[in-house]
Structure 1
Amino acid sequence: MTATRTVDAPVSGPAGGPAERDADPFGRDESERRGRRRNVLAWVALGAVVLLLGGLLSLFVARDWTPRPPLDPEGPGADGARAIVQILREQGVEVVPTMRRADTLERLDASTTLVLTDPWTLSEETIQDLVAAAGDTVVLDADGAVADLLVPGASYAGYGDEPIAPACALPVAERAGAIAPGRALTAPAGAEGCYPVGEGFGLVRAPGGAGHVTLIDGTVLFTNEHLAQEGNAALGLGLIGTHERVVWYVPSFEDAEDGGAAPTLGDLTPPWVTPAIVLLLLAGLAAALWRGRRFGPLVAERLPVTVRGSETLEGRARLYARAAEPAHAAALLREGAAARMARRLGLPPNAAPLEVADAAAVRLGAPSDVTRAILTHVPTSDADLAALGRRLRDLEDAVDAARTDGRAG
């Protein structure tokens, strides 16, 4: 008797089968054209939505995506100064952010407080002109050269990272109380120092311009991250809010007169690029979720074609022969023979080949070395594989014919 096997093939389902589609080829083409038009219109609509959202983001929130320098008065990050600026404005102080030297000089007068950050990028003449035009000046990030320029004799004198009492008669410092001052500077004759750190002070004040020049490390006191610590907020408001108008100058790259550092990629990138990239990524994710849907379960259809078992067997045999892998073919033969003998011997289907070999030896009354050698042999050639197949077949036949008392039947 010839062994036959029925092949099940996956199809899309009973509706829309090949016969139904072939019955009206013109209708099928029209349906495909409509589907393509819908896809094109959907992508066009998605692109329009992305462009619209990108435009809105560039208009309203692009500034928050742009990298900002430390102590930027509009900076919302940890190193920005938006928090203290908002508090000053709530108290009625007008805060004017500037980034260009000429604009800053135009807005300064004797009744204005100048807040200066990153002064090391400016020339000495520019710094002196700015201080002379202001009423009071608060330098938030002065290095040794700028400190000596504005308060002759002042220099770096250590760092204070623990809360320190003001230990001076300056009213604003006494009201603020203890702070962790950060960078300390020496206070030469004619200057007043508060918050002593070693031989220096965390706050140094001296006459300058139409009022006073105050040197203090604002990077660890007045940023959004540190403003709520100790007496930082009270000290910052007292130093900066001495007048009703504050000009907060963050020098731009164009104002640098000492060569400055090379502009970064963030400086050269338009502000709308970052939100546009984020929008494109979100649109790509949405498109992947939309178009990457899973197919439903396959529907099996019984085909009116029978494939002889011998054809399948011969086809696989030719594939194994072409691959020239006798060890792999032998592993499949051993696996099948061991599973069939395991059922005959009362062992579980997943029994190891050595367990099957030992049980077969007990059933046949033969040495276990012989059965183990058959079930563990690895052939190295086609002839060796054929011999192994015959030995496996003979062992199966012997196990099938053996009686449970261990004697051959």
Structure 2
Amino acid sequence: MTTAAPASGRTRSVLAWAGIAAGVLVAGLGVAAIAGIGTMPAQGLLDPEAAGPEGSRALVEVLRDRGVEVDVARDRTSALAALGEGGATLAIADTAPLDDDDLEDLASAAAGTVLLEPRTRDLRLLLGGAQSAGFVDELTAPACDFPDAAVSGSVRPGEVFTADGLRIACYPAGAGFGLVGTGSGPDRVIALDATSLLVNRHLAEDGHAALGLNLLGGTGRVVWYLPALGDGSLTAAPSLGELTPPWVTPAILLLLGSVVAAGIWRGRRFGPLVAENLPVTVRASETTEGRARLYAAAAEPVHALDQLRRDSLRRLARLLGLGAADAGAIADAAAARLDTDRARVRGILLDDLPRNDRELVDAADRLRELEAAVHRTVRPERNTP
């Protein structure tokens, strides 16, 4: 016995330190994973490097197989530099981060522009005020003389646009056209809903792939630009670290160090201070007598009677088959069983309050008599509860 206890204590200590080490390791891995999320490349909607359903990597690979050079730009500076080399078609996705002047400068530097996800502002600036006219998911023929669309066949256009005053208007559906455009050569601007046509999950349908190749592959070079926050006047919100005073980080590190030191100091001993648990068994009669002495010393006859009433109510509920009924319902059921005054039974079980020990003894006697009377009505063959 004396050798097993220290060995058990050492085992608990080793397991506790192992648990602490495992917790620290898991926390470190979690922090590293969270930090890594911020460094992952964008792989979202119409991203030319995304292989997911909403990306456009499939179209980019098809273009490259046909000898078309595709440059991916993720900021305005890179896009302008790539367009500055000349002869490149600009494929631009969500333009929300860009200012009006930025968008016009990009379009003027390109040898043709394709708006992959046109917004109302884009249509106003580059297409003379065309507007969105709803969404269509039906197979639609080109029905126009624009070569890039005419040879591509039918598509499911998705969002359609009005074409008032525009030279290019293909895929008529609903109240608009699935492809609209203006100008020719380097000044040509085309707008279509590429989220329904040129993403990976829809590219193999109908004439979608052919339309993408014809629109983007004509110049032999494409600059695929994904605008980011900071490319225009719209900037990202400051981080929490930028908003907090410089002394906050050292204070947090000091606090964490203090917590670790306190944990090591207080955790130097694991397990109970004694080798064996020593349970103490107390007889029920001793517990009852001790509680009674406490009530007597405190001169609290009401509390003592409450304990007696609680036990009587529990026995009466079981005797009358009431289950989890409340005290009032049990008192009413007992009065009905005895065919006696309901107020009298409620006084015995609930309402009467003793002021001294004599009244407490009398109340206890009435409880016992009431319980015995109910018992006789339920089980007449027995005379005692």
**Distance in 1 separating the partners of 2:282 and 2:87:** 101
Offset of 1:382 from its aligned partner?
2.8
Cα distance change, pair 309–137 in 1 and its aligned pair in 2 (3 A): same
Offset of 1:213 from its aligned partner?
2.4
1:379 and 2:355 equivalent? no
Aligned to 1:284: none
Which piece of structure 1 moves more, 348-357 or 232-241?
348-357
Question: Are the counterparts in 2 of residues 327 and 379 from structure 1 also a CA contact under 8 Å?
Answer: no
Aligned to 2:168: 192
Aligned to 2:71: 96
Cα distance change, pair 404–102 in 1 and its aligned pair in 2 (3 A): closer
1:391 and 2:363 equivalent? no
Question: Are the counterparts in 2 of residues 112 and 134 from structure 1 also a CA contact under 8 Å?
Answer: yes
Offset of 1:206 from its aligned partner?
3.0
Question: Are the counterparts in 1 of residues 97 and 230 from structure 2 also a CA contact under 8 Å?
Answer: no
1:82-140 CA-to-partner distances (Å, cap 9, x unmatched) read 45445545666443221222322332345433211234544555444433443332112
Cα distance change, pair 72–178 in 1 and its aligned pair in 2 (3 A): closer
Match of 2:107 among 107, 119, 131: 131
Q: What letter corresponds to residue 94 of structure 2 in structure 1?
A: D
- The equivalences for 1:8-27 within 5 A come to 20=2
**Distance in 2 separating the partners of 1:71 and 1:55:** 28
1:216-244 CA-to-partner distances (Å, cap 9, x unmatched) read 23344434566566654443343234454
Cα distance change, pair 331–142 in 1 and its aligned pair in 2 (3 A): same
**Distance in 2 separating the partners of 1:369 and 1:70:** 81
1:338-361 CA-to-partner distances (Å, cap 9, x unmatched) read 379x4xxxx7796966666666x4
Match of 2:313 among 335, 349, 367: 335
- The equivalences for 1:67-82 within 5 A come to 70-75=45-50, 80-82=55-57
Match of 1:147 among 113, 123, 136: 123
**Distance in 2 separating the partners of 1:149 and 1:249:** 18
Aligned to 1:369: 340
Q: What letter corresponds to residue 369 of structure 1 in structure 2?
A: T
Cα distance change, pair 336–147 in 1 and its aligned pair in 2 (3 A): closer
How many residues in Structure 1 have an aligned counterpart in Structure 2? 334
**3-state SS of paired residue (2:72):** strand
1:46-79 CA-to-partner distances (Å, cap 9, x unmatched) read 5346546765786699526x6x665333456765
- The equivalences for 1:151-230 within 5 A come to 151=127, 153-156=128-131, 158-163=133-138, 164-174=140-150, 175-188=152-165, 191-196=167-172, 200-208=176-184, 210=186, 212-223=188-199
Aligned to 2:89: 113
Greater RCO structure (CA 8 Å; 6+ sep): 1
Q: Percent identity?
A: 28
Aligned to 1:365: none
Offset of 1:378 from its aligned partner?
1.1
Cα distance change, pair 58–172 in 1 and its aligned pair in 2 (3 A): farther
**Distance in 1 separating the partners of 2:95 and 2:37:** 30
Aligned to 2:234: 260
Q: What letter corresponds to residue 141 of structure 1 in structure 2?
A: E
Match of 1:63 among 37, 40, 44: 40
**Distance in 2 separating the partners of 1:397 and 1:333:** 14
**Distance in 1 separating the partners of 2:11 and 2:71:** 59
Q: What letter corresponds to residue 236 of structure 1 in structure 2?
A: G
Cα distance change, pair 240–323 in 1 and its aligned pair in 2 (3 A): farther
**3-state SS of paired residue (1:71):** coil
Cα distance change, pair 123–43 in 1 and its aligned pair in 2 (3 A): same
Q: What letter corresponds to residue 378 of structure 1 in structure 2?
A: L
Aligned to 2:226: 250
Offset of 1:204 from its aligned partner?
1.8
Gaps in structure 1 of 5+ consecutive residues: 1-15, 269-298, 362-367
Gaps in structure 2 of 5+ consecutive residues: 243-275, 325-329
TM-score, with structure 1 as normaliser:
0.61
1:235 and 2:206 equivalent? no
Cα distance change, pair 36–83 in 1 and its aligned pair in 2 (3 A): farther
TM-score, with structure 2 as normaliser:
0.64
The structure with more strand, counted as a fraction of residues: 1
